[in-house]
Structure 1
Amino acid sequence: MRGFVMAKKDTYLALLRRGIDEKTAQILSDGGIKVGDLKTLDVETLINNYGLKKEIATSVLDSVKSGPRSSAKQRYLADVLSDSGDKKKVDKIEEQRFRREQKDLHAELLEKKEQLRIAKVEQFREKKLVMNRLGKTVELIVKLENTFDEEGKDEQRTKLRDQLETRGLEAARDHELLDLSGTPQDIVDFRRKIAPVLCMHACPDCGEEMDPRGGNVLDDMSDFMLICWDCENEFRAPMAQFVEDKLENGERIQIDPKKGPRLKVYQPPKKSDSLSVDDLIKRDLESTGASVAELEAAVEASKLSGGLMSIEDWIDQTIAAKGYIQAQEHREEFILATGAGATKFNKWMKKAGLYFNKQTGRWTRWEDR
């Protein structure tokens, strides 16, 4: 009896490992059948002898024949629950909804990506501002420490110590915001003690290092010469020596006075050849065969009767009086005197051969510019 119970339990567990549900496995194990015997049975036998449905019986046989696997239960349930083996048709409405959701998700991802990019840019800008502020604070601390070392009065040293404490707190705050290694005092020490040493010159004869601030030859300020106080040898810095050699050898740019300019030279605008109103009247009167006196009288009469000046005369008269013509100042007078349109002011000035100065906004003769 005990062996039968153990065999029944083993069959039950073996069926579970093959993905068969607990109820079906319990029915088959209670029937006394073994897993090996299930492989020899068919669907009708399981239906008639054990009361299983056709779909369940088919899935049981497939699961037993395929052997135990991790996804056997999912496969068994899929075979039982599916109506048929054919692929389901996707509804068009569902497909459109899915595509719309996919498009919205893609747009949301792009928006998140843009927000992330903007956030990175803002973070970089903030770090840059903090770094610039830290650099200025470090330079100020360097100056304060140099002054503190040179100061002999206790009162001034106390004030400098307070300023150093305040600037030190500011530098520590910015240093922590940038998440830098070390301390702000390390930067100050490098700036005060190491950086000046790196900028020192060495004497080419004895090799003695010297600070260029205290080694300049002040007798001749026209040349950048250094002097070594140990061997009293005067020498130039390598860059200064290179420049001096270039100047002495004459390897400089030569300018040919006969060579023309590289850029195109624009000629001044020519005066327009269009006839004025007076010239037109004179031409018409000459065609009639009138004398000079009659022509002049007719021209003067035309001016008096018409009441308007020619544009050329108005320009000559205004430039003779003012020396220039400006739109804001003379536009209204130009319209009343000549009868021309307000929008044609610049056109007539350009047609008369005047030069326009963009800085002052005035029209003048080309020779008076």
Structure 2
Amino acid sequence: MLVLGIESSCDETGVALISDTEGLLADALHTQIDMHRAYGGVVPELASRDHIRRAVALADVVLEKADRKRSDIDAVAVTEGPGLAGALLVGASVGHAIGWALDVPVIGINHMEGHLLAARLADPKPEFPFLALLVSGGHTQFMKVEAFGKYELLGETLDDAAGEAFDKTAQLLGLPYPGGPAVSALAEKGTPGAVELSRPMIHSPNLDMSFSGLKTSVLTAVTKAEAPNDETFRADLARGFVDAVTDVLSQKLIRAMRMTKMTEVVVAGGVSANKQLRAALTDVVRRRRGRIYFPPMRLCTDNGAMIAAAGLARLQSMTPEEIEACRRSTSFGVKPRWSLAGR
């Protein structure tokens, strides 16, 4: 079975082709970072228009790289949500048009489920069940994953996601969009402990989190600084911010492992590419004689491969009647707000 995956939830257009016997055959990605950088963040209308220009062209690139024809496609998987409504509609429209033209089923995929399963594209890959930390620009969640499609939300951020806090901190420090890589790079030049910032909810007995207070701590530090543009101060502040995020997520992960008694851990989402966070969480899990898995670095951010993989897994879990219903369907929609819990 050959599945074409299309991702267009935000500012990356990703397309990939995956086989149930050969694995990931090819993938292609176009990022809109340079376009949005001038505005300090994603402009939804511009994102949607750029997806229109890229999606079909990238599908052709992927087919050529995999040495396959359009007629070889057995199913199409598209990101149905969560994400920007306009951007999602572009990917869904292209995916369903391809599906209808080829008379193959089209499967709507939860974007976060794609991130959740991206680590299974690595070698070695995690086996079910496992504990997952999804940490991205829009989500920070702990999930108990019993099996494919069986997810339990254990805790999540009550306000800003970790990725949002990175982007807002980058703005306060005068760093370019996207904030995560820029803040992380500057933090490497800073001195640990030189700037201490709040760690909201780090001692709360549950697995919920909060990062808006940390963002406010950064703003307060910048406002009170005698020389806010001093390079040493900026580096120390960036280090203090990264250490605060890392400490919160590390302590919550320890609590999650104790609560669930699970030692297999998956960390996924765009922020999982952060160098300092990877090192800290790896240390937490190994100290508890567990195993930790991350997606391949290039598959941490939004991409078509994770959507294709999730689409293949969902198809394999469906009955022939359900697959036929997808093939025959003549309508579609998107879900800008779509919780993964309870899937």
TM-score of the pair, normalised by structure 2: 0.15
Quick check: which has more Rg, 1 or 2? Answer: 1
The structure richer in helix per residue is 1
TM-score of the pair, normalised by structure 1: 0.14
